[in-house]
């Protein structure tokens, strides 16, 4: 009997979760379109995208960087140069120790980034001090900022040239939808050699 009740409750919760995700994704269509167009413009110009985030967003940054670099590779497509600044643990901890955690992304951007490069910042709150500091630095250094956020977008929204925002305060749901967006964007960029 317990299994039946648990199964019914889980099914109901799952259906509620899925039903809530669909409308959120539909509200983001225009933003996702802008993201695809911007990333296609960057790859055609030979630009570099530096990806940043904390926690689950750091994992998403790492995954997306790999997908953008390898996953969009197809005959006729120029490479999309992408590097997750979250992937080098010794670098992150060295900067955290030596200059403070708020600078763990600013310092590598200062050394690697060039005017005309791009920062893709993933933050559900949009208020993570190290992500916001990196976005501020990027803008001051002539780099564009792409923000992937949730809720009200926080400070990151105001620093972004392009934003994809999941309009929910549910961090788990936002991270799941970010992942869906990233996989969709990768697929479109791989399968569409010309997005004019």
pLDDT of 63-121, one tens digit each? 999 999 999 988 888 889 999 999 999 999 999 999 999 999 999 999 999 999 999 99
Q: What pTM was estimated for this model as a whole?
A: 0.92
Q: Is residue 177 part of a domain?
A: yes
When divided into structural domains, the chain yields a total of: 1
Q: Is residue 89 part of a domain?
A: yes
Q: Sorting pLDDT into bands at 50, 70 and 90, what band is 30?
A: very high
Shortest CA distance to 110 belongs to which of 145, 131, 141?
A: 141
Sign of the torsion angle spanned by Cα atoms 81, 86, 88, 94: positive
Q: Is residue 122 part of a domain?
A: yes
Q: Is residue 175 part of a domain?
A: yes
By DSSP bridging, strand 118-122 and strand 48-52 are parallel
- 169 touches 124 (CB < 8 A): no
Q: What is the DSSP string of 131-173?
A: HHHHHHHHHHTT-EEEEEEETT-HHHHHH-SEEEEE--S-HHH
pLDDT at res. 11: 85
Q: Sorting pLDDT into bands at 50, 70 and 90, what band is 3?
A: low
Helix axes of 171-191 and 29-45: crossing angle, nearest 10 degrees: 50
pLDDT at res. 77: 86
Q: Sorting pLDDT into bands at 50, 70 and 90, what band is 193?
A: low
pLDDT at res. 5: 60
Query: Domain range for residue 140?
Result: 2-191
What CATH number is attached to the domain comprising 68? Answer: 3.40.50.10490
Q: Is residue 54 part of a domain?
A: yes
- 42 touches 143 (CB < 8 A): no
Q: Is residue 196 part of a domain?
A: no
More confident residue, 78 or 164: 164
């Amino acid at each position: 009997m317990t299994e039946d009740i648990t199964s019914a409750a889980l099914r109901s919760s799952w259906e509620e979760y899925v039903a809530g995700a669909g409308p959120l994704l539909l509200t983001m269509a225009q933003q996702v379109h802008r993201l695809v167009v911007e990333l296609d413009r960057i790859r055609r110009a030979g630009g570099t995208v530096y990806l940043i985030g904390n926690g689950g967003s750091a994992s998403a940054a790492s995954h997306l960087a790999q997908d953008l670099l390898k996953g969009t590779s197809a005959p006729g497509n120029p490479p999309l140069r992408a590097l997750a600044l979250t992937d080098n643990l010794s670098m992150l901890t060295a900067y955290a120790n030596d200059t403070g955690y708020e600078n763990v992304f600013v310092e590598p951007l200062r050394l690697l980034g060039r005017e005309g490069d791009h920062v893709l910042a993933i933050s559900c709150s949009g208020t993570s001090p190290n992500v916001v500091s990196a976005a501020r630095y990027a803008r001051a250094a002539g780099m564009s900022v792409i923000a992937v956020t949730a809720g009200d977008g926080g400070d990151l929204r105001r620093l972004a040239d392009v934003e994809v925002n999941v309009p929910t305060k549910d961090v788990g749901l936002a991270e799941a939808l970010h992942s869906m967006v990233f996989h969709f964007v990768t697929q479109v960029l791989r399968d569409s050699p010309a997005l004019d």
